[in-house]
Structure 1
Amino acid sequence: MLFDPTTLTYNDAGLIPAIAQDATTGEVLMMAWMNAQAVEQTLATGKVTYWSRSRQEFWIKGATSGHTQELVDFRVDCDRDCLLVTVNQTGAACHTGRRTCFYTQVEDGKELEIMAPMRDI
């Protein structure tokens, strides 16, 4: 069966959440949004492409920062409303300069930053 991005369930803005996971470590790196064109571009090029809601434009991860995501595996969840992209991550995945966007831990009602930036922002 050929994959058809139009069979995915997008929200009212035409977007679907995409979770990026490190192919080597299994670490969850980030969550961003894709539209059908970003899905198609990611699959065609192997360069993970998202839709920037703030800039209203395509965002090829690492195009300006050098912190790229090379696609290893592309999966669709059972409800077809969320994506998992397994990637080879170069540099920080988070715009804060951290390896992952999930650097804030909540424990005993307190927030703890458990990871320092990899670089200055």
Structure 2
Amino acid sequence: MIVPIVLTQAANDAIDLAAVTSRAKARVLAMRGKLVQTWLFPRDFGGPPDRANELFVPPEAARRIEALIARLLAQRGDTPPRMMTVHPAYRGDSIVPTSITYSIHPGTDRVTIPVW
């Protein structure tokens, strides 16, 4: 009798983002594709390419951030640049924010992107 053996990937590939408490841990997870390195304050809006602006988020959150920035750039068009403030929210010692709120001034444009 032949019995087929089926290998499956573990159903729970989730990572504990609360345990990502250092850049070293975040970089390891980024190498494994679990996190993506991006920028807290978007480079397209003048954010610096330095460590203080570096951000690690899951791939899905990175896609939502990229979509938001693309939308904001498209809306900007020929109008004068407006100010943007970025407020990340954190839980515990994690360096991965739980959410990021982008506010455009002047005006009331405010978008919060949930991360985890």
Q: Same fold (TM over 0.5)?
A: no
Which structure has the highest strand share of the two?
1
Normalization by structure 2: what TM-score?
0.29
Which structure has the highest helix share of the two?
2
Normalization by structure 1: what TM-score?
0.28
Give the greater-gyration-radius structure (CA).
Answer: 2
